[in-house]
Every structure is written in C-alpha cells, then in structure tokens.
A and B are shown apart, each in its own frame.
Chain A
Amino acid sequence: MSHSDTIPLHASSQSDIDEIENLIYASPATVLPARPPSPPRASIPVSSSSPFMNSNLPNPAPPKSSFQNQIPKPPSSSSSSLPPPPPPSTRPADISTSGFGPAPNTLTEPVWDTVKRDLSRIVSNLKLVVFPNPNREDPGKALRDWDLWGPFFFIVFLGLTLSWSASVKKSEVFAVAFALLAAGAVILTLNVLLLGGHIIFFQSLSLLGYCLFPLDVGALICMLKNNVILKMVVVCVTLAWSSWAAYPFMSSAVNPRRKALALYPVFLMYVSVGFLIIAID
C-alpha cells in the first residue's frame, strides 16, 4: 500500500503503517510496544501453529495424517475442525501479551478485566494529553492509542454536572451542553481538515474530548460551591488548562499561516462551555 509513494509521511501516519505491516507480516514476538498489552483491534490469527499442536496433544489417537493435514490449512477453518481443545484459560498470559492471541480470549475474560483495561487506557491517555509530558508536542506519539470511551465519559459527565447545577430546564441544559460538545468536536475536526491540515479524524475527536477533563473538574467544583467569584476564578483556570492541553495538537496540524484560524474555534468552544459553567445557577 505505501511502498510506492515517495513523499515523506507525516509522523502520525508512520505508526499506522507500522501497525498494519506488522499485522500482515507478524510473528508474535515482534509486536508493537506502543500500547500496554491489550488485544489488537483487528484480531487476525495469522501466526504460529503452536495452539493447534498444544490442543492436539490430549488426543494422540487421531492419525498422524490428519494432524499433518491440519497444519497447512488456514487457521480459521482448522480452528473449527480441531478436537475440543482445552479451554483457553489454561494458556492465559502468554497469548495476550503476545498481542496476537486467538479472539476467544477477550470474549471469555471476566468483564472486570475488560473494564479495567479500558479504564487504564483512559487514564494513560489522560496523563498523556492533559498533564505535562515531554511527548505532547508530537501528535504521532501523544495519543497513539486513542479511544472514544474517555471523551464520552467526560462529555456526559459535563452535561450531567451542568444539568444538576441548573435549577430550571435541566434537560434542555443537558441537551445544549451535549450537543455543543459533541457537534463542536466534530466541527472543529472538520475545520482543521478543511483548512488543509493533517489530522486523523477520530484521534482529534479523542483529543478534544480528553481536553475537557479540566473543565469537568471545574464544573464539579462550581456545582458544589455556588459563589460567583469562585466560579469565575475556577473557570478561568480550568479554561486556560484545557486550552493549553489542546494547543500543541491543533497548532501542529495545520500550516503555520493558518494556525490562528484553526485555534480560534477551539478557544470559542471552550469559552462557551466555560460561560455555561459560570452562568448556570
């Protein structure tokens, strides 16, 4: 796919190409270390025949010919023709850390494991984006393992907090906040793309969602303590924090002559959310 181009790639695209190439040519040992051990998004069971050999051990009775026939078959069909293998839980840790283990492992793991894995990804992404971190400037490294759960939680939490703070028209407040944030993230990303910038759509949505975290904290504080001066101070501080978090990503995505054009809408969105936080009583 990418072998014939002669154009230097953007840094963020190289990581995607690496991942795709690794999936195509992979052996389990050379998996990307970029993210904590988690099942891959595309679970192609491309690799070794070791699962099949292990599961054939309890049944030495099937003739050698069928055993040898099974190895050249494509993995997907042979997995269904195997004699009932021992449950995957007997080989827990090594398959998942290799990154290309068979899919049933994530289907049969306890729900708490899945939730814990997603939560830890949210926390690590949050730390990357919102807190000072030497890799912030580079969009390729900063949010490589983007996800949309974190932004979803933050947007809903902000909407709920504003809705709780309001004394009248609670549902309309939630609707306005949610629509503003969700549509705003999409429109901001489209704005950068239309200005000729280079970003990946969902990575940008993810980043804008994570940058809402300081405003969430601010909204929570404002809900608990209803003093106007305090609200203004808190909102100003958290607004500055959110803008600081979003700035490097957005400004590096476009042509420097258009930086202000890309950044102004981000600022506008955060200011309007900040105003909502102050104004809702």
Chain B
Amino acid sequence: MEDSSFTGLPTSHLLGSVPAVIVEEDKTTKHVAANGGDRRPGGYQTIGTPTETFEQQPTNNWRGFFSVSSYSQYFDVDTDAVMTRLISSLNPVGGDFFSKIDANPDLYGLIWISTTLVFVLASVGNLATFLMQKHGESSTSWSFDVSYMNTAAWSIYGYAIVVPVAYYFFLQYMGSKASLIRFWCMWGYSLSIFIFSSFLLLIPVEFLRWIITLLTGVASASFVALNLRSYIEGNDLSATIIAAFVLQIGLAVFIKAWFFA
C-alpha cells in the first residue's frame, strides 16, 4: 500500500469485480522472476504473500496460468524504459541489450512491435505494390489485397514467437543458460527496425529497395547475433549465432519479396 496505487493491483482475478484488496506481491515476484528467469507463470509461488480472505491466490498451480495478474510482472515498464529499449535496438553493434533488460524483461515490446509491423506491412505493402505497378505501367488501378494482412500476421507473429522458443529449448539442451522471456524481448525489439524500413521501401525503384532491404536486414541480424553472442558466452555455439543472423536476414528478404514485390 505504500506503493503508488497503480502497480500490482490484482484487479482481474474476477473479471468485472471490485478491486478491493491490494496484495504486496510485487517485490516478491521480482525475486522469483530473477532466478534463471524461466517463464513459470506461478507469479504466486512467492514467499510469505499476505493472505487475504476474499481473493484466493493460487500458489504454484495451474490457475495462475489463466490469471492476468500473474503476467503483469512482464509488463512492468514505463514509457521511458520502452523508448530507451527501442532506441537501443536500432543500434546494431551495441551488444549489451541483454544487460539492459536483465532486471526487467518486458513482453510489451514484443507484442506491440510485432503488431505494428503486421499492420505496417499489410498497409504499406499494398501501397508499395500499387506504386510499383504504376511505375511500370500507369494504367493500373488501386486494389487492396486483404490477404496481405493474413500473411503478415502469420509470418511475423510466427517468427517472433517460434524462433525464440526454438533457441530457448536448443540452448537449454546444449547446457548454456537461456531465458525465454529475455529471448522474446530481444527478438521482439529487433523487429522494430523493419517498421522504419517498410516506409523506406515505398520508393518504387527496385534496385534501391534491395539495397534498403539488405542494409536493414544486416543491421537487425547483427543486433540479434551480437547480443546473442554476448549472452551465451560460449565459443562452441557460434553455429547457432550464425543461424540467428541468417534467419533474420531471411525474414528481411521474405518481407521484401512478398509484400513489396
């Protein structure tokens, strides 16, 4: 209660209910999340959570999976923190992203950057395809292909969710340290550069488009690879780092080829 009243209030156990009780779970859940940081949604396996009579806190059981407040620890960021992370993701040679997010990885960036990218690809892609056709033959008329939205959603969300999961399992198998939330966070922020490049790809000159694609692909891929390398700290996994690099470039090329043909 000495906190500002906006944080850590479990208002959503009973949807539509009155937020009558505050539970001091913030500090204790942070401790749990920092241990190896595996994504156990038991935000309630805390030490000494004060019990209250009205709302039952599920302790380390499956009900925490479906409760919103067990995930709010991953969204505990302010606007300036998100902006800082966003700007640092545009810097391809920093290599220190993981140390920046170590204390407080957030999933806000992943979700909203990928959603923005989906929307931008669908809309700007249509526009760019139209401009390209008009550049070629000036008699084409505007037609909005709504399947771009579908393809964009599947590809971007699929990439942003599946690749970090694959790396998490693979690195755990290889015995290196791995944290799913941090991987999701990093890969999510790495997509931000594609949002800006999509606007640049409006220019209807094919050669220029490929240059832009290549540049942004390399920038994003090196961001991913350098950060991954500084996180893993092991030399025998350079193949996986190169794979991450190649995957990111592959994504850039796919975006160009499909949406900005």
Residues of chain A at the chain B interface (Cβ within 8 Å): 1-2, 4-5, 7-10, 13, 16-17, 166-169, 172-173, 176, 190-191, 193-203, 254-255, 257-261, 264-265, 268, 271-272, 275, 279-281
Nearest chain B CB to A29's CB is how many angstroms away?
A: 25
Given A196-B75, A280-B144, A281-B142, A2:B4 Cβ within 8 A: no
- Chain A proximity of B117: nearest CB distance (Å): 11
Residue of B6, B15, B17 ringed by the most chain A CB atoms within 10 A: B6
Judging by beta carbons under 8 Å apart, are B6 and A197 in contact?
yes
In the complex with contacts A169-B146, A264-B112, A279-B126 CB distance below 8 A: yes
Closest to A146 in B: B16
Q: How far is the CA of A193 from the CA of B150 in the complex (A)?
A: 27
Q: Once the chains bind, are A261 and B143 in contact (CB under 8 Å)? A: no
- Cα separation A268 to B119 with both chains bound (whole Å): 9
With contacts A176-B149, A281-B142 taken as known, whether A193 is within 8 angstroms of B1 at the C-beta atoms is no
Residues facing A in B108-131 (CB within 8 A) are: 108, 111-112, 115-116, 119, 123, 126
Q: If the complex has contacts A173-B146, A176-B146, are A258 and B19 also in contact, measured as CB distance less than 8 A?
A: no
User: When each residue 151-184 of chain B gets 1 if its CB lies under 8 Å from chain A and 0 otherwise, what string results?
Assistant: 0000000000000000000000000000000000
Answer whether A261 and B82 are a contact pair too, CB < 8 Å, given A168-B143, A176-B150, A198-B11.
yes
| B1 lies within 8 A of A7 (CB) | yes
Which residues on B sit within 8 Å (CB–CB) of A264?
112
Residues on A with C-beta less than 8 A from B9 are: 196, 198
A9 to B1, alpha carbons, bound, how many Å?
12
**In the complex, what residue of chain A is closest to B14 when comparing beta carbons?**
A201
- A13 vs chain B, min Cβ distance (A): 4
- Nearest CB on B from A96, distance (A): 25
A255 to B4, CA, bound (A): 9
CA distance A124 to B60 in the complex (A): 45
Assuming A9-B18, A193-B11, what are 8 further A-B pairs, CB within 8 angstroms?
A: A1-B20, A2-B18, A8-B5, A191-B108, A193-B12, A202-B15, A272-B119, A279-B144
Residues 1 to 35 of chain B near chain A (Cβ within 8 Å): 1, 4-9, 11-12, 15-22
- Identify B19's interface contact among A10, A272, A280, CB under 8 A: A10
With both chains docked as a complex, state the minimum distance between the C-beta of B254 and any C-beta of chain A, in angstroms. Answer: 21
Instruction: Enumerate chain A residues within 8 angstroms of B68, measured Cβ to Cβ.
Output: 190, 193-194
Chain B nearest CB from A150 CB (Å) reads 17
- Chain B residue contacts of A17, Cβ below 8 A: 18
| Interface CB pairs A-B, < 8 A, 20 | A1-B54, A2-B20, A10-B19, A13-B19, A169-B147, A193-B68, A194-B74, A195-B75, A196-B6, A196-B72, A196-B76, A201-B15, A203-B16, A258-B6, A258-B79, A260-B79, A261-B77, A261-B108, A265-B112, A281-B142
Interface contact A257-B78, CB-CB below 8 Å? yes
CB distance from B69 to the nearest CB of A (A): 8
Q: Which residues of A contact B146 (CB under 8 A)?
A: 166, 169, 172-173, 176, 280
- B53 — nearest CB in chain A belongs to which residue? A4
- The docked-state distance in angstroms from the alpha carbon of A199 to that of B12 is 9
User: Which residues from A are CB-within-8-Å of B72?
Assistant: 193-196
Instruction: Give me the 5 closest cross-chain CB pairs, A-B, nearest first.
Output: A255-B6, A13-B18, A194-B75, A257-B78, A279-B144
Alpha-carbon separation in the docked complex, A125 to B18 (Å): 21
* Cα(A31)–Cα(B187), bound, Å: 55
The answer for the CA separation of A240 and B21 in the assembled complex, in Å, is: 37
**With an 8 A cutoff between CB atoms, is B65 at the interface?**
no
* Complex alpha-carbon distance, A169 and B150, angstroms: 13
Given A255-B6, A272-B119: A202 touches B16 (CB 8 Å cut-off): yes
Contact A261–B79 (Cβ < 8 Å): yes
Q: Which residues of the other chain, B, contact A167 by a CB distance below 8 angstroms?
A: 143
Interface membership of chain B positions 206-243, coded 1 if the CB is closer than 8 angstroms to chain A and 0 otherwise: 00000000000000000000000000000000000000
Closest to A174 in B: B146
Q: B98 near A: Cβ within 8 Å?
A: no
Cβ–Cβ < 8 Å partners of B80 in chain A: 257
Instruction: Give Cα A10–Cα B53 distance, bound, in whole angstroms.
Output: 20
Closest to B79 in A: A260
Tell me the bound Cα distance from A166 to B147 in angstroms: 13
Name the distance in Å between A69's Cβ and chain B's nearest Cβ. Answer: 38
In the complex, the answer to whether B20 meets A9 with C-beta atoms within 8 Å is yes
